Amino acid sequence: MKNIKGIYIGYAENLEPQSRAFEEVGGELIKGNLGGSSTGNSLLSPKNGDNSKIDQVVSLLEETKAQSLVLQGHGFPLNKDFFEAVSKVETFKGLACFGHGFDGIDIDSASSNGILVSNAASFGTEEVSNHALMLLLVCAKKFVLHDKLVRQGVWTREYLSPMGHISGQTLGIVGIGNIGRAMGRKAKALGMKIIAFDPMVSSWDFKEYGFEIASSINDLCKKSDYVTLHCFLNSATEKLMSAEQFRLMKETAYLINCSRGPVVDETALIAALKNNEIAGAGLDVFEQEPTNPENPLLKMDNVAVTNHYASYSEVAWERAETQLGEEAVRISTDSFPMSLVNPEVKKKITGKKSAQLWEIYKETLK
């Protein structure tokens, strides 16, 4: 099939993974240069950037007649102004965004303007679930405190008790999408009992995964020895974990967050830790990123922290970049993407093909 075109805008110099799908079907991924320095931040802060670059994006689309955009640290906001502007380009159909979260994208505006939006869901499933499991184990074994003591030359068993246990204890998972399910699978291998809260998943799926259903977030907090968050951020999940939930958790319980920082009320978490309402936390994400170096959480010996890198490995990153190209080709050829993040768009557009596995779909385009 001819005239399959996408424009790449981002910080990557080597576009081989992103271009792979286009080349397999005789298409072309064009490097778009908007001038200035790239952000290198993927979509961690997609609301930020230079609004004036939107006109340049429109010009690129009009000049190349590309049907899709591949965005990876692009440097302009995906807001109402953006979606209204690109919707006026006759050939343009949608965009594929690097990363997993889409909380910074104006999804409603994309849908109302008939623009398909895809992310790279599933690329970091193994990495993020591994990272969350690592934080769980670090918390359970009081690693932060004892690592510090040993480095200070203090060799003592004074602070061992109470020590967390794993086998036979209950892990509460909030959100059982790809990552939450992977976390449950791995925790079950360690002998943990799994309870989960996800109002968007059917009871049959809970049965298939072997997870007990929590009827509410509060129910999950009461029953869990460890609570791990794997939900996306939206108005319903913002500050889902707050003072009420921490009061309901066991004093011996730990919170793990590898989703998005604002899912947790950070002020309430700090208070709960200071008041010994919970035993500790493992955090890869914060309400504000980068977090303030004076954040009390960074000074607590019962809190393990990393800097929002749970999804990273070279293998996962290349998979994400390859997946971006596959999704962009689907969009360019009048198919829904496999990871459509704005299903409401279906009310605005017709004539799109259902998403198919790439290995099958690409054969239909040759």
Q: Which residues are catalytic?
A: 260, 289, 308
Residues paired with 193 in a beta bridge = 170
DSSP code for 156 = -
Token pair listed for 285: 């994400």
In the Cβ-directed half-sphere of 176, how many Cα atoms lie within 13 Å? Answer: 27
Q: How many CB atoms lie within 10 A of CB 162?
A: 9
Residues paired with 71 in a beta bridge = 9, 97
Phi then psi for residue 291, to 5 deg, are -75, 155
Q: 313 by DSSP, 3-state: which?
A: coil
DSSP 51-104: TTHHHHHHHHHHHHT-SEEEEES-SS--SHHHHHHHTTSTT--EEEESSS--TT
DSSP code for 158 = T
Residues 6+ positions from 62 with CB-CB distance below 8 Å: 89
Residue 112 · residue 122 · CB < 8 Å = no
DSSP 7-50: EEEES-S--HHHHHHHHHTT-EEEEP--SS-----TTSSTT-S-
CA distances to 15, 78, 148, 264, 344 from 104, in Å = 25, 7, 37, 17, 17
Tell how far CA 93 is from the center of its chain.
24
Task: Please give the radius of gyration of the chain, using alpha carbons only, rounded to the nearest integer.
Answer: 22
